Structure 1
């Protein structure tokens, strides 16, 4: 695919968005008010908005190789502080993914060049949990290290001054640790959710104990989960609203959106 093709795809995407919602970009340009901060891996197969089925403007995102949160990384720390202090997000999700090549490189001690310095953070996670990892069959070690790395980065987020200060002033904020499956497109929970310093320390220790057992398995939300039902209902309402707006005879555009209407009809 050429660069020209990418630009053409952008124009087509913009056209589709305007046809579905004439005021979408006008609203988006005025401000961003995301409720979520996603800290994930740079892997191109793990895009936050698409995975969560959320539109642009709904997820503030920070990504790096192997979803690391390091106390020396001013980029990540600045993102966290901006998210909680300025955007006042209500949830931070640390999201790893199974089959992560950065995790595999750290586990196998691969020499890749400059990135080796970055992956030393993951190497430290491997060293810390090496006995439990080596007790597993070789085929399971990469994915278990992916899970353990999420736990450690979850803990690192909860230890940041920005998050601790947010909790201290009583501002609502929950931190979560999830893992994503490339083979099925599903997010799974690792027993890592905290809304206070005490809860953060306790859930972290409990999760590590669980992950130290050979038969640990991440949990996928089900239809009986209240949170899942709320999300599903919200999606259904959004789809229903969009379908209604596109039915013949339904007023699609506001009086302010004449230029967009013309563009959609073109």
Structure 2
């Protein structure tokens, strides 16, 4: 894999800006007027997860929050501030939690090898593995177990989004964004749109009947 030097990053930026101006002389003036992105994207910090590239989106289309293993912690003030701003100020129409296969955070949680702060951070994924251990261990390979755990992790984080006070306020107003769970298959570059257990969540009271 080819890596750029620091100097190349600056050079590439100038070339990119010039290309944009050639395509549209008013591009940056229009970009500077403000943002109204339709999507909030919550993803993993992994360097292989540039969703702008995978979705062919431009600056201004995705409002983005990323952390190790795409966690939605109900005590994470950073994430909650992003979510509140996205829903209540920007009025995003969709919230996407996106995980991926070959996720280091998921694998560390599965193997129990994480240490320090990361160990605490990925502990919810470790608990997911232990809760579903019989089913996961029945799968024939580590790769399949890790892939399934990555999917479980995404679904758990989407459920956490639905349980936030931000979303509960939006439900009461009857105007709330749609939520989605994605997994990126690193091997193929394809996004897998996971089916959500909406009926189960309705029965638990996590989401309204209109969800």
Q: TM-score, normalised by structure 1?
A: 0.71
How far is the alpha carbon of 1:124 from its aligned partner? 1.8
The answer (yes or no) to whether the contact 2:42–2:64 under 8 Å persists in 1 is yes
Q: Which residue of 2 aligns with 1:132?
A: 135
Q: Deviations over 1:238-259 (max 9, x none)?
A: xxxxxxxxxxxxxxxxxxxxxx
Pair 203,4 (structure 1): closer, same or farther in 2 beyond 3 Å = farther
Q: Which residue of 2 aligns with 1:226?
A: none
Q: Deviations over 1:156-177 (max 9, x none)?
A: 0011110121121021410011
User: Please, which of 168, 180, 184 is the counterpart of residue 184 of structure 2?
Assistant: 180
CA distance in 1, matches of 2:5, 2:47: 18
2:107 counterpart SS class = helix
Which stretches of structure 1, 4 residues or more, deviate above 3 A after TM superposition?
Answer: none
- Give 5+ residue unaligned stretches, structure 2: 205-211
The answer (yes or no) to whether the contact 1:177–1:193 under 8 Å persists in 2 is no
- Give 5+ residue unaligned stretches, structure 1: 205-266
The answer (yes or no) to whether the contact 1:91–1:176 under 8 Å persists in 2 is yes
The answer (yes or no) to whether the contact 1:92–1:174 under 8 Å persists in 2 is yes
1:45 counterpart SS class = coil
Q: Which residue of 2 aligns with 1:154?
A: 158
User: Please, which of 99, 102, 110 is the counterpart of residue 99 of structure 1?
Assistant: 102
The number of equivalent residue pairs is 200
Q: Which residue of 2 aligns with 1:201?
A: 201
1:115 matched to 2:118? The reply is yes
Pair 8,148 (structure 1): closer, same or farther in 2 beyond 3 Å = same
The answer (yes or no) to whether the contact 1:167–1:173 under 8 Å persists in 2 is no
User: Please, which of 163, 167, 170 is the counterpart of residue 166 of structure 1?
Assistant: 170
1:55 matched to 2:54? The reply is no
The answer (yes or no) to whether the contact 2:87–2:176 under 8 Å persists in 1 is no
How far is the alpha carbon of 1:2 from its aligned partner? 2.6
How far is the alpha carbon of 1:72 from its aligned partner? 1.3
Pair 46,167 (structure 1): closer, same or farther in 2 beyond 3 Å = same
The answer (yes or no) to whether the contact 2:182–2:191 under 8 Å persists in 1 is yes
